[in-house]
Amino acid sequence: MINSRLIQLLTPLSRREMSRLREFAESPYHNKHIGVINLISHLSAIYPDFSESSCDKKQLFPHIFPEETFDYQRISVVFSYAVKLVEQFFQVEAFAESNAASELFLLERLRKDQHSVLYKKHLNKIQKGLRQAKIKNSDYHLRASYIAREADFDYRQKGEHEWDPNLQKKQEELDYFFISEKLKDHCELRIRRKILKGTYTPYLLDEILTYVESRKAYFETIPAVNVYHQLYRLLTGHPDYQLESVLAALQKQHGNFSRSEQQDLYNMLLNYCIGHINRGDDSYHAKALKIIRWQLKKELIFQQGILPEWHYKNITAIALRAGETEWVYQFLQDYKGKLHPDSQTRAWRFNLASYYYAIGNPDQALEMLAGLEYNDPRYYLATKALLLRTYYDLGEYEALQALSNAFRQNMKRNKRMTSHRIQGLSNLFKFTKRAMLLRNRLDYQSASSLQKDLHKLQHQINDSQSLINKNWLLEKIHELDKNIRPLSKNNS
């Protein structure tokens, strides 16, 4: 019964939504089928217990048809009607939430019934609301075009012969909507193309870019066009558009976008920085941190007031690589209370361990990591990688070897991690142990032999396609190379 389409539709509903559905089913305007009323009423009463036993059709039948013999076909028909009613309920609820759609249909009805005074009153109210609107994204321009179209219908219906601006207004708003949506989609496509296989055809893109840039000063006053135009040029490497200027434009006009769209826009800029970081440009750590600080200030990273632990971790990592250790420590303390209670302690301890490791205090890092266990495979890998780096820096070869053995045994049992992740950490263990062995031979192996082995290891690291913490490993190889000295006669 859990596979029932009706139960699948009802399961995600909140208590309030379930109660409203019951009221909807009991309204004779929407539903007159007594079986459906009884079914929805009972399901509302047992909400949220939609288990196999409570939703079995034989169990439900007496609540729908009291004192009657079970009839599978009959109750199946009721379920079918109930599904249609729930779908209708979703439509009505969505319409009620969409002020733009409801106001448009009201205008249309008032115009068709020739309620001129009421029509003019509502049209003026809607137009005033549009002028005062704070959010002016592409959806705003689409809504404005619909209102202008409706006003033009009224003008034509009256048969007046005076100039009316609404048709021109409709065309302008449609242009803004079309151009901004095209640019927004192409920004997203540029990002997806780097992650997913596939190609796309940029229909009309060149024409749009040429048109916008021919009226650049004008379109800078249209946030929905200006922001996505600059962002697209940045993502495609145009020399006239740099991260700093695009970020400044977004910060100036970001209030014209909804919160969710602001999140998307800043995340696109952040992904742009991460792309440069992945290509070896470490200067973008500081640039990424600048964007993150703004996101924190505007609370664009939070989800229902909660800071996701992976954002907490990623922010820490980027800030440490930017060299902002003091800021990291304060961030970890200030935002610990914003984490979900279930993950607060482990996320705080893990990231504080990362901080201690970064400032050269591996003993404190080990103390923070002691006893931490993670069900999430990503945290497991990150913790083991941090422990490995710490053991290496402390010269704890036996502890490193034990960690490596435990990891290998765990991987044999664990089927949740992707092979790519496993290989990345396995290679880190393998190369780090080799580096540790070479470090232990500094005092008794000849310089030429050490350099030969070291350069061989360096080439293997560089050639590895699956390796986490590669830059850290290469730094350690560089340190070893600087420490190679000719052997004294006593050690030769």
pLDDT at 487: 59
Q: What is the pLDDT along the chain (492 residues), one digit of tens a residue?
A: 466 999 999 999 999 999 999 999 999 999 999 999 999 999 999 999 999 889 999 999 999 999 899 999 999 999 999 999 999 999 999 998 888 888 999 999 999 999 999 999 999 999 999 999 999 999 999 999 999 999 999 999 888 888 999 999 999 999 999 999 999 999 999 988 877 767 788 899 999 999 999 999 999 999 999 999 999 999 999 999 999 999 999 999 999 999 999 999 999 999 999 999 888 898 999 999 999 999 999 999 999 899 999 999 999 999 999 999 999 999 999 999 999 998 899 999 999 999 999 999 999 999 998 877 766 777 778 888 899 999 999 999 899 989 988 887 777 666 555 566 778 888 999 999 999 999 988 888 888 888 999 999 999 999 988 888 888 999 999 999 888 877 555 554
Q: How many domains does the chain have?
A: 2
pTM of the model: 0.82
Q: Are 176 and 138 in contact (CB under 8 A)?
A: yes
Pairwise CA distance, residues 30 & 23, whole Å: 10
Residue 464 is part of which domain span?
A: 391-492
Q: Which of 40, 67, 97 is the last residue of a domain?
A: 97
pLDDT at 488: 52
Residues facing 306 on adjacent strands: 303
**Residue whose tokens read 């202008």:** 148
Residue 476 lies in a domain: yes
Q: Which of 97, 115, 141 is the last residue of a domain?
A: 97
Smallest Cα–Cα separation from 314: which of 277, 369, 279, 281?
Answer: 277
pLDDT at 414: 61
Q: Which helix (H) or strand (E) holds 364?
A: helix 362-369
pLDDT at 413: 63
Pairwise CA distance, residues 283 & 297, whole Å: 22
For residue 306, give the DSSP letter.
Answer: B
Q: Are 150 and 107 in contact (CB under 8 A)?
A: yes
Residue 289 lies in a domain: no
Residue 458 lies in a domain: yes
Residue 51 lies in a domain: yes
Q: Are 325 and 358 in contact (CB under 8 A)?
A: yes
Pairwise CA distance, residues 129 & 124, whole Å: 9
Q: Are 434 and 454 in contact (CB under 8 A)?
A: no
What the block records as the tokens of 224 is 């929905």
| Cα-based distances in Å from 113 to 98, 107, 374 | 23, 10, 66
Q: Which residues contact 250 (CB under 8 A, 6 or more apart)?
A: 227, 230, 231, 265, 266, 269
Instruction: For the chain, give the longest Cα–Cα distance.
Output: 109
Smallest Cα–Cα separation from 266: which of 308, 296, 306?
Answer: 296
Q: Cis bond leading into 48, ω under 30°? A: yes
Residue 25 lies in a domain: yes
How much of the chain is helix, strand and coil, in % rounded to 5? 75, 0, 25
Residue 475 lies in a domain: yes
Question: Burial level of 294, CB count in 10 A (0-12/13-18/19+)?
Answer: middle
Q: Which of 97, 123, 151 is the last residue of a domain?
A: 97
Is 295 strand, coil or helix?
A: helix
Is 242 strand, coil or helix?
A: coil
Pairwise CA distance, residues 96 & 158, whole Å: 30
Pairwise CA distance, residues 420 & 224, whole Å: 40
pLDDT at 457: 94
